[in-house]
Structure 1
């Protein structure tokens, strides 16, 4: 398994040496089921309501189930100790859709009508940009588990936007270096024409070219497009050594036109389309293809994913087949609940002022790795520093995580991905 990890404020590693650094492993990630008890008495009773605008439909719908499962599981753990903490949490689930079906146009007003303090979502950066102003204008926190566009780092959000996923500056660096390290001199890309796709393509290009490579074709397409023959033809005509697919689930339509035209081990995926294809493709179609995904390795998160599936089974739901951004969604809920507890308030502005603190961004907190332990610190008069399932998180002044990991994965003969052994 290869994972690249660095602090956003630390030295930027360049060239192909950036790939293959050991994973940042947190002792607190072993399990989330042993919540313990709090010794301090509960503070004033708090009833916090949050909403979700995650993809139940649209071109990222495959990410909806793990993200919503992460939210539901975290909520269950918060409410399991509500008698001790005085905080109860209610979630109103909603669909973000995509920029084609525009589900968010009706869902965001519905969520705001439920008097939510925060909205978790969207998964797509392009979709989040469609309603961030609406949430900020209403004085509501937007907290995405999966937005990676660099646009949010400098966005005017009144301090109400946070994310547990790192900027694509990091993923682009890792992917570009990985492609170069694999011996490819030329690269073609098919790119989704939105803030996520074009931003990630930019950083992949910069990294690949810094390593001595050349991007020879990078046609784009728009959300809602259903045919991609022109983009595929343009990339293949450039005869690149490798092709990076910077897409969402449109990849399922693109792949049949590419497979057999380029060796599978010269195809590269990203977080927007890295999924288990299984029997949807002929056996061995993707053998040797690689991809990147922000977050700790799924292998590292084994205890969490097992606990998550056990929770779903107890609720009468099917186990997940994808786990992308489940941990980031889980952590978003825990952080919001801790910030509400620390503020002694369910007001969005009060919670936002405490989110940096409970993530460790103030630098003076006591480390803790589950809600109950962190709540105990807060109720005892201390400052909690939550290290999450997805990583240390530690927000900076603009709500970006200052530390992050990028996992590298490889497809096997079953067209499913596993951690890349290097």
Structure 2
């Protein structure tokens, strides 16, 4: 069963959820490439592998704020793997934009990754975007590994075992969000959600959890991707006189949040999710003078942030010619995705996508009796010694099930301060 450890309002507000394999039905799957002779690791032997990875992450679109931390995670992991010199090298990354379901940048990128014959593609961030290119990736034999997809639909996707993810499915975040809202003493809640696989899935689990605790949903409004006017939905929600509002959106928060506050709704009673939980105080797109102080949000943030790791991510990003990172959302999951792919390739002694997929559950600790290790170099040493590695990364224990979903994950709870920046409060 799910184990939720949450502090009460009398102490520190927050929520951590650690879920075991039997707790909830999560989601995932993956494929790709340029195989070596693959598979036989019965005796320790030298490796000489070259892995080719591409990205299909949001440089543009409604989730563009996730692009920098995710790409930094990929880039830093590649550097760490190559510097370790353990018999596998990751060649130059084929970088690509996923965009969103509106601008459709993914359509060009997936064809580029297929033509480049990458062994694995990291992305997309949006579940809705991944759904639009995943079948093409599977048909091309590319291992697709998302650091941020949370839709429940991927659990049973027909993917030939070629889709995997380090982000937990919406089941977990929805449960945490529902419990946090209930713990805060709210009884009559309205929901405004995006009408796609991400929004509908997260909304359902949130509502089931909140109503299961005795709460009532007094209004439910949705919108479609690409909509820019939300006056009707906001009016309907406010008319229901809710004591809290859950906003399950992407960039639409830039319109919806300020509109609610301008209408007199208190920010402290707003609840956000990973798709819109941003540091507005450092965001030029957020209207000046609009305060989100007191609002809360949830995100699959992993364990307590590692400040040294975040510094390394930022240093890598800046050295690549970019401005400093403003956000680290899904950077852990992106880093771990690349490390797990490399470890699986090392364990399989192959860069063939199917061979890599065949070892991903093992190196995550989801099968076998592996020895725990927390860095690529240490895990690689175990594999090269003929042992089984069990990688616990910056995003947590991971521990994949047979569907390619992590069965252990931590959901962080954040709160906005007077500076419109978030602070994690579940630690």
Give TM-score scaled by structure 1 length: 0.89
1:41-96 per-position Cα deviation (integer Å, ceiling 9, x unaligned): 972421110111101111100000000010000001011123x4243343111111
Unaligned runs of 5+ in 1: 13-39
For 1:148-187, list aligned pairs within 5 A: 148-187=150-189
| Deviation larger for 276-285 or 337-346 | 276-285
Q: Residue 34 of structure 1 aligns with which residue?
A: none
Deviation sequence 1:108-141 (CA, Å, 0-9, x none): 0111100011111110111111111111111111
- 1:219-258 mapped onto 2 (5 Å cutoff): 219-258=221-260
CA distance in 2, matches of 1:136, 1:421: 38
Answering whether residue 11 of structure 2 is matched by residue 8 of structure 1, we say no
Structure 1 stretch 399-408 or stretch 40-49: which is displaced more? 40-49
The yes-or-no answer on 1:380 pairing with 2:382 is no
Question: RMSD between aligned alpha carbons?
Answer: 1.8
2-structure distance, mates of 1:321, 1:153: 32
Contact kept in structure 1, 2:15 and 2:180, CA below 8 Å: no
Per-residue deviation, 1:282: 4.0
Residue 75 of structure 2: aligned partner: 72
Verify: 1:311 aligned to 2:311, yes or no.
no
1:259-274 correspondence runs (5 A): 259-260=261-262, 261-274=264-277
Equivalents in 1 of 2:117, 2:405: separation in Å?
A: 25
* Deviation, structure 1 residue 316: 4.2
Contact 1:284 1:412 in 2 (8 A): no
Matched residue of 1:158: which SS?
coil
Residues 44-193 of structure 1 mapped to structure 2, 5 A cutoff: 44-82=47-85, 84-193=86-195
TM-score (norm 2): 0.88
Assess if the C-alpha contact under 8 Å between 2:72 and 2:316 holds in 1: no
Deviations 1:8-42 (A, max 9, x none): 33557xxxxxxxxxxxxxxxxxxxxxxxxxxx997
Look up the match of 1:363: 368
Map residues 284-323 of structure 1 onto 2, 5 A cutoff. 285-297=291-303, 299-323=304-328
- The alpha carbon displacement at 1:188 in A equals 0.9
- 1:329-368 to structure 2, matched below 5 A, reads 329-368=334-373
CA shift in 2, pair 1:228/1:155, >3 Å: same
- Structure 2 residue runs without a partner (length 5+): 1-11, 25-42
Separation (CA, whole Å) in 1 of partners of 2:191 and 2:102? 22
Q: Distance in 2 between matches of 1:231 and 1:75?
A: 44
Determine the structure 2 residue equivalent to 1:406: 411
Q: 1:262: how far off?
A: 1.2
The DSSP-based 3-state class of the residue aligned with 1:169 is helix
Aligned to 1:20: none
Cα 1:78–1:402 change in 2 (3 A) is same
Per-residue CA distance 1:194-244 (angstroms, 9 max, x = gap): 000010000010011001111121211111111111111111111111111
- Report the CA distance between 1:327 and its aligned residue: 0.4
Corresponding residue pairs, total: 393
